[in-house]
Amino acid sequence: MGDGPTDTRHHRKPGRVPPHPGDASITLQPSDRADEIGVLERELAEMQREIRHSLVQNTRLAALGASMSRVNHDLRNSLASAMVVSDSLAQSEDPQVQKVTPRLMAAIDRAVNLCSQTLDYARSREPELHPERFDLRTLVSDVLDFVTPPPDAEIRWDIGIDPGFVVVADKNQMFRVLLNLAGNAAAAMPEGGTLRFRAERGGGWVSIDIADEGTGIPPKAQETLFEPFMPGSGKGTGLGLAIAKELMRAHGGDIKLMETSDRGTRFRLRLPDRG
Ligand SMILES: Nc1ncnc2c1ncn2[C@@H]1O[C@H](COP(=O)(O)OP(=O)(O)OP(=O)(O)O)[C@@H](O)[C@H]1O
Ligand SMILES: [Mg+2]
């Protein structure tokens, strides 16, 4: 005895138990020092607060992941039965049925996709992208078919995107991003209003602007807008913008809040231009 790591104990001040490296239960207390060490202490304490915050988020995501796995299992079974019914509907000779069945099947497909993607998110897995070339205007008008405006609100869609404006990205994922933005925008216009889409390319990027005439986002909510589980006063779960951000990032792009006031809100999506 005498040699080795135990020796170091003799160098400690009596009564002071040194923190185990990595012991997250100890809270760093910065002193009032005005020098660089003081600055460093405060920065470390701030970093510790941020790490704690993201640990709490991760724990919540893990809990969500576990319960979603169960919901997902049952939901997938229901969707499988819906798929069988819509397959047999597709055989019908009734022209009305023939007209609506493809939309029904597309909706079921998207629901299945949504299940898996939300699960992926809860498990914090990187979304898998399947890029393809598609017409952005067509995608936006498909998205608008799925938006439910608030009751009694007359919402006008203004798609100022030229036909033939081609984008290369994962179409299903872009559908999800746009659907969430359009859904949020419609929800923010209980008195009605216009939802405008614009797109342009330049400098190697495609920018897509989504602007509404809604109630705007309060300053406090803006701070955590893209964090998961930060819903407003509505019925949402607060996942939409977090997922949208993750999907845009996975594409090498981004989503930004450009402006918001009581006259409306504008978000901008950016994608690397691969058209
Ligand atoms: N265009 C907008 N105008 C006003 N508020 C908005 C707008 N977009 C988002 N918000 C606010 O930000 C909150 C978070 O949006 P997000 O899409 O992340 O979650 P959610 O819509 O509440 O739920 P989910 O999308 O998971 O169903 C919304 O609840 C809403 O309060
Ligand atoms: Mg939403």
- Please determine, for residue 209, whether its predicted confidence score (pLDDT) is greater than 80: yes
At 66 the pLDDT is 67
At 47 the pLDDT is 81
Of the candidates 257, 241, 253, 266, the residue with the CA atom closest to the CA atom of residue 169: 253
Condensed to tens digits (0 to 9), the pLDDT of residues 98-119 reads 888 888 888 888 777 777 666 6
232 CA distance to ligand 1 middle (Å)? 6
CB of 232 closer than 6 A to ligand 1?
yes
Q: How many CB atoms lie within 10 A of CB 24?
A: 11
CB of 215 closer than 6 A to ligand 1?
yes
Residue having the nearest C-alpha atom to atom 30 of ligand 1: 232
CB of 265 closer than 6 A to ligand 1?
yes
Unique residue bearing structure tokens 């952005």: 136
Question: What is the percent of the chain where pLDDT is above 70?
Answer: 82
Q: Which atom of ligand 1 is nearest to the CA of 267?
A: 1
Condensed to tens digits (0 to 9), the pLDDT of residues 118-168 reads 666 666 566 789 999 999 999 999 999 989 899 999 999 999 999 999 999
Write out the DSSP string of 184-227.
HHHHT-TT-EEEEEEEEEETTEEEEEEEE-S----HHHHHTTTS
> Which tops the pLDDT comparison, 227 or 252?
252
Average pLDDT, the chain: 83
- Please determine, for residue 182, whether its predicted confidence score (pLDDT) is greater than 80: yes
Residue by residue, what is the 3-state secondary structure of 123-174? Answer: CCCCCCCCEEEEEHHHHHHHHHHCCCCCCCCCEEEEEECCCCCEEEEEHHHH
Task: Give the confidence band of 18 by pLDDT, cuts at 50, 70, 90.
Answer: very low
Question: CA 111: distance to chain centroid?
Answer: 16
The average pLDDT across 19-48 equals 74
Q: Is 218 in a helix, a strand, or coil?
A: coil
Q: Which ligand is nearest to the CA of 230?
A: 1
183 CA distance to ligand 2 middle (Å)? 6
- Please determine, for residue 175, whether its predicted confidence score (pLDDT) is greater than 60: yes
Unique residue bearing structure tokens 């859904």: 183
Helices (H), 156-239: 171-187, 219-223
Q: Which ligand is nearest to the CA of 189?
A: 1
At 83 the pLDDT is 84
At 85 the pLDDT is 85
CB of 185 closer than 6 A to ligand 1?
yes
Condensed to tens digits (0 to 9), the pLDDT of residues 44-95 reads 888 878 877 877 777 777 777 667 766 776 787 788 788 888 888 888 899 8
Q: List, in order, residues 6 or more apart from 267 with CB less than 8 Å away.
A: 181, 209, 210, 211, 255, 256, 257, 258
Of the candidates 228, 222, 255, the residue with the CA atom closest to the CA atom of residue 240: 228
CB of 214 closer than 6 A to ligand 1?
yes
Q: Which atom of ligand 1 is nearest to the CA of 236?
A: 23
Q: Which atom of ligand 1 is nearest to the CA of 240?
A: 25
- Please determine, for residue 257, whether its predicted confidence score (pLDDT) is greater than 90: yes
Q: Which ligand is nearest to the CA of 234?
A: 1
CB of 236 closer than 6 A to ligand 1?
yes
